């Protein structure tokens, strides 16, 4: 797919548009040309787009939306809720323990115990499930059903 670009001749300083990737100047037929960037051509569209954005945000009462401006983010980022260990009870997650409150949904809390998953790997020896002191993935896996198609 070709792009229409504006080129400037380095010999006669003429500007011209071309679909080719390295065109020759139509005025002097010189091959010494350079691409002249013209910008994104969205200056007039962006102002009307911002006005439409604000109008739609007002109509639908979306007061937490913002349009990106220089030095300002378009999205309001709220800090995650901090839960104190006093609000939760310790839960074991297969090797690490965290004090969480299951009624609050997802939470970001530090571990209550020391977690160290360092191990020594040797050539020719496979790391098993018990190598890190963690239970096997199969221990908490339940198979509800399976499908095995008949060989053709």
> Has residue 148 been placed in a domain?
no
Q: How many domains does the chain fold into?
A: 3
Residue 63: CA count within 13 A, CB half-sphere:
1
Question: Is 19 buried (19+), middle (13-18) or exposed (0-12) by CB count in 10 A?
Answer: exposed
- Inform me whether the pLDDT recorded for 11 exceeds 80: yes
The pLDDT score that the predictor gives to residue 9 is 92
Q: Which pTM does this prediction carry?
A: 0.28
84/99 same-domain check: yes
CB 122: neighbour CB atoms within 10 A? 7
> Has residue 17 been placed in a domain?
yes
> Has residue 57 been placed in a domain?
yes
Residue 28 belongs to domain spanning: 5-35
Give dist(CA 16, CA 28) in Å, integer. 12
> Has residue 59 been placed in a domain?
yes
Contact 55, 33 (CB under 8 A): no
- Inform me whether the pLDDT recorded for 79 exceeds 70: no
């Amino acid at each position: 797919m070709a792009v229409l670009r504006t080129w400037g001749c380095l010999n006669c300083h003429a500007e011209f548009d071309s679909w080719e990737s390295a065109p020759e100047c139509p005025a002097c037929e010189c091959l010494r040309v350079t691409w002249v960037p013209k910008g994104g051509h969205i200056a007039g569209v962006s102002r009307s787009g911002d006005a439409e954005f604000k109008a739609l945000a007002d109509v639908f009462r979306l007061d937490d939306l913002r349009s990106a401006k220089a030095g300002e983010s378009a999205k309001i980022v709220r800090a995650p809720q901090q839960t104190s260990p006093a609000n939760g009870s310790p839960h074991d997650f297969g090797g690490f323990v965290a004090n969480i409150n299951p009624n609050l949904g997802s939470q970001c809390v530090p571990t209550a115990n020391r977690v160290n998953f360092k191990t020594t790997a040797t050539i020719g020896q496979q790391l098993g499930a018990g190598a890190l002191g963690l239970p096997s993935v199969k221990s908490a896996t339940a198979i509800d059903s399976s499908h095995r198609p008949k060989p053709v």
